[in-house]
Structure 1
Amino acid sequence: MHLVLTGATGLIGAGVLQHMLATEAVTRISIISRRPVPMANGHDKARVLLRTDFMNYDAELLEELSDAQGVVWALGTSQASVDKEEYRKITYHYPIRAARAFATIHPESPFNFVFISGAGATQTPNMLTSLYGRVKGLAEQALLDLHGKSLNFSVYNLRPGAVDWRSQPAIHSTMPTQPLYKRAVMPVLDSIYSSLLIKTQALGKVSTELALSNGAPLEGEDIEMEGRLVLNAAIKRMAGS
């Protein structure tokens, strides 16, 4: 099957790509990226589609993706790295524009949009809710609204906790260097708050499997929004970790 991936040079995206490359059921990977993706080098089933505009999807690109089963949308940035408007553009407008375009690729058959959101996202923000939580929550809701309007367009919003890359050395040379505070806090989370952690391998496995799935709603106490919101505990459970 043919899958699409964004954010392949990021921490989560690198883990997803490594899993897709190792999955026999994935026969083709279209990586939409601003820059080259070293991990894809030498892999016949991976093709990097370089783009600088994530707000528009022309007919040529959509034709390239016309037989794709789904996408894992791992593109994102820290709210501390850009101003508020740029953060909203990257976190909300980019995935929504893509989803609207991808929903038209083959409306007669299923297409799965797997959105990597994050713990803290909410549809009911209050005065203490961060920009991150508000904008991620808006994106989740907009994707769910689109899912409700399109018969064969299925959405899964994943809310991972603190992402742990340490046990996946295959991605260390290609993922971004992690800041010192993240490297320092990981052992603490390991020993005291391990339930908040999620390994990159688990995210890669579950997001790939959902992109390959039949688009049906999920079940479980750790699944919300009528089977479309996958909490950190559910990701770990589904990954068997």
Structure 2
Amino acid sequence: MKIILTGATGLVGAECVRLALNNPQITEVVALARKPVTVPDGASRSKLRSVVVEDLSQEYSEDVKEQLSGAHACIWNLAITPSKARALPANDVSKVCLDYTMTGIKTMASVASTEVPFRFVYTSGALSERDPSKSLWLNPEYRKMRGEVENRLLDYAVDTAGKVEVQVTKPGLIDHAGRFAAARTLLSATGLSNINVSELAAAELNQALGGFDKDTLMTTDLVRIGREALWNS
């Protein structure tokens, strides 16, 4: 199986790369990023192909399309986090979160394997809001923008009449090496539950490989699936 991974230099993306490289079901891992991706510690080097695209909102070159061709699935972990988004213009945040994602899925679907439906796992967030009319007290513009991405992806999958399947994962706070301790105030204010980065990456990889339980997975779903996948690995 050939899988495409984005956001491979980030927290969740790097863990997805590590697990994918060590998974015997996967024959090739294509890490699509704006800069070269290196092999994480403890992972096999032989299956990794790093593909660099500086502007992922523009049409991909024929060379890049060729390197993506024949893929069976993608796990999309590329986005601007809420904390970083506050320091950037809204248009720049939307370009990365929305334009990059929609250009990516459409391009990948056009060159994907036709053996099975192309599976696209999109990492969003527990607070993303799909209803644009809803009144929100915390970071409303960002949350609705991420919800719009979810809506567009799910609608796109419907429009392909089964050729593309989309799953949205909506984790709460992602715990890794003590990072969660610094976010306890946020947790208490929002009621978010946490998930370990390895559990999240394992859950997403499990769904990309075996098919989707449902089109949206919340933290409790992800923890359950991720723990089971790690236990069986």
TM over 0.5: yes
Displacement of 1:127 in angstroms is 3.3
Report the Cα distance in structure 2 between the residues aligned to 1:106 and 1:134, rounded to whole angstroms.
30
Does 2:183 correspond to 1:185? Answer: yes
Are the aligned partners of 1:40 and 1:47 in contact in 2 as well (CA < 8 Å)? no
Are the aligned partners of 2:29 and 2:48 in contact in 1 as well (CA < 8 Å)? yes
Report the Cα distance in structure 2 between the residues aligned to 1:120 and 1:187, rounded to whole angstroms.
16
Are the aligned partners of 1:103 and 1:111 in contact in 2 as well (CA < 8 Å)? yes
The residue that corresponds to 2:231 in the other structure is none
The residue that corresponds to 1:156 in the other structure is 167
Displacement of 1:36 in angstroms is 2.4
The secondary structure found in structure 1 opposite 2:126 is coil
Displacement of 1:23 in angstroms is 1.3
- Any stretches of 5+ residues in structure 2 without a counterpart? 229-233
Q: How does 1:193-208 map to 2 (within 5 A)?
A: 196-208=193-205
Are the aligned partners of 1:195 and 1:233 in contact in 2 as well (CA < 8 Å)? no
The residue that corresponds to 2:51 in the other structure is 49
Count of residues paired in the alignment: 217
The secondary structure found in structure 2 opposite 1:113 is strand
Q: How does 1:23-102 map to 2 (within 5 A)?
A: 23-40=23-40, 43-55=45-57, 56-78=59-81, 79-102=85-108
Note closer, same or farther for the CA distance 1:12–1:131 as it changes in structure 2 (3 Å cut).
farther
Displacement of 1:186 in angstroms is 5.0
Displacement of 1:158 in angstroms is 0.4
Note closer, same or farther for the CA distance 1:121–1:45 as it changes in structure 2 (3 Å cut).
same
Report the Cα distance in structure 1 between the residues aligned to 2:130 and 2:186, rounded to whole angstroms.
30
Structure 2 counterpart of 1:54, which letter?
L
The residue that corresponds to 1:3 in the other structure is 3
The secondary structure found in structure 2 opposite 1:24 is coil
Are the aligned partners of 1:116 and 1:157 in contact in 2 as well (CA < 8 Å)? yes
Structure 2 counterpart of 1:120, which letter?
L
Are the aligned partners of 1:113 and 1:153 in contact in 2 as well (CA < 8 Å)? yes
Q: Give the counterpart of 1:120 among 111, 127, 149.
A: 127
- Any stretches of 5+ residues in structure 1 without a counterpart? 168-177, 219-226
Q: Does 144-153 or 60-69 show the bigger shift? A: 60-69
Are the aligned partners of 1:5 and 1:71 in contact in 2 as well (CA < 8 Å)? yes
Report the Cα distance in structure 2 between the residues aligned to 1:132 and 1:87, rounded to whole angstroms.
8
The residue that corresponds to 1:221 in the other structure is none
Bigger RCO (CA 8 Å, 6+ sep):
1
The residue that corresponds to 2:223 in the other structure is 236
Are the aligned partners of 2:68 and 2:112 in contact in 1 as well (CA < 8 Å)? no
Structure 1 counterpart of 2:199, which letter?
A
Structure 2 counterpart of 1:138, which letter?
E
Identity of aligned residues (%): 25
The secondary structure found in structure 2 opposite 1:158 is strand
Structure 2 counterpart of 1:97, which letter?
T
The residue that corresponds to 1:175 in the other structure is none
The secondary structure found in structure 2 opposite 1:104 is helix
Displacement of 1:25 in angstroms is 1.0
Structure 1 counterpart of 2:151, which letter?
Q
Normalised to the residue count of structure 2, the TM-score between the two structures is 0.84
Displacement of 1:12 in angstroms is 1.4
Q: In angstroms, what is the RMSD of aligned CA positions?
A: 2.6
Report the Cα distance in structure 1 between the residues aligned to 2:186 and 2:106, rounded to whole angstroms.
41
Note closer, same or farther for the CA distance 1:60–1:37 as it changes in structure 2 (3 Å cut).
closer
Report the Cα distance in structure 2 between the residues aligned to 1:107 and 1:47, rounded to whole angstroms.
17
The secondary structure found in structure 2 opposite 1:64 is helix
Report the Cα distance in structure 2 between the residues aligned to 1:149 and 1:139, rounded to whole angstroms.
15
Note closer, same or farther for the CA distance 1:13–1:142 as it changes in structure 2 (3 Å cut).
same
Q: Give the counterpart of 2:109 among 103, 124, 136.
A: 103
Q: Does 100-109 or 153-162 show the bigger shift? A: 100-109
